[in-house]
Each structure stands twice: as structure tokens, then as C-alpha cells.
Chain A
Amino acid sequence: AQRVTQPEKLLSVFKGAPVELKCNYSYSGSPELFWYVQYSRQRLQLLLRHISRESIKGFTADLNKGETSFHLKKPFAQEEDSAMYYCALSPFGYKYIFGTGTRLKVLA
């Protein structure tokens, strides 16, 4: 079955520390993977997608097909990174499968 797993409900880090939000997926084909972010009182929005291979707001994510992972990383966390992060898989067509989300808290 297609599934996205985000093992951490809450991740707290200090400002300036590295951040890694974990995402594992199960899908036998070639997936398209995304990270979405929801800041406080804002709507859910796309942060990045693996096909773009770009860095957004200092975040990067590499697709590791061997480990079926798509972890989100940032070398130095900032307080404004505090938000809810969702990993999503789009195995085909236009449907998404979302993970359960990880709340990131960056402490001053």
C-alpha cells in the first residue's frame, strides 16, 4: 500500500542548530514527492518538490530511493521556521498521499 510516514509529531531544536525532518514512503514505482508547510495562521503551501532539486528558505530534500526517504534538512534553524511540515507523495495522476505531519519548534 502507498504510505507516507513522518515518525516525529514534534521536533524541537535551538536556533542555529541543524534540522532534519524525516519522511519515509512506500511506493513501488517512481514517486513524486513534496514538502508542504503551514505557518501559524497561514494556509498550507508548497515548500519544495523533489523534481525541482532546489533550496527554498535554506531547506533541501533529497530523494533516496534505496531507503525510500525524502528527509527535509536545513543546516541552521531560524525561529521563523517554526511551523507544521507535511511530506506528501503523488504516486500517479493528481492525487496526493500526505503524512501525519511534524511540528517544528525552533527555540530561541
Chain B
Amino acid sequence: DAGVIQSPRHEVTEMGQEVTLRCKPISGHDYLFWYRQTMMRGLELLIYFNNNVPIDDSGMPEDRFSAKMPNASFSTLKIQPSEPRDSAVYFCASSDLAGVETQYFGPGTRLLVL
């Protein structure tokens, strides 16, 4: 398996623009997680899905953030409108309930909002 795939790897945009981050989890994994990493706040869980259904979105900062998982192999995290304080690295991770139940992380999307 290719692992968790995220796109784009880097995104530079202007304040007020819409940003869409994409994630393809590992095939067969039931859980998908979106994290945000900044120097100030470390790694923050934004939302996670189980079998394509959002389970806990309490970490989503505000209404400008939304996430969807239309099928088992694809998820998006959208920021509209974007603000400079959204600049961060956004990670997607997936896991299943077999084995050590760990999360496998994608390489991240580095977002810069000017």
C-alpha cells in the first residue's frame, strides 16, 4: 500500500480565498483523522471519521472549517475564507481496529495564508 496520500503538499494562498486539502487513507482503514500542527499549539486533532461518518468535530476551530468524507477512500478539509492564522501543516491519518490500532500519518500539507 502507498500509505496515506495527501495533496497538495504545499499551498500558498491569499487571505479570504478558499482552500481545499485532500486525503486518501490506507485502503481498508475505518478511521480517518485530520490534525493541524503549529509551533505554538503543537499537534491538534480537528475531526475524525469512522466509516465515513464524522464522530468528533470538537477540534474544528470555527465555522470556516469543514470536512467531508464522501467515500471510504477520500476526504477533504476545506477552509473558507482562509486567514493568516490558519497557516500550519495539516496532517491526515488513518487507522483500523486490528493489530496495534495505531494511526498512520500522511506527509502533510503545508499551508501558508498571506
User: Is B truly associated with A?
Assistant: no
Point out residues on A near B: beta carbons under 8 Å. Answer: none
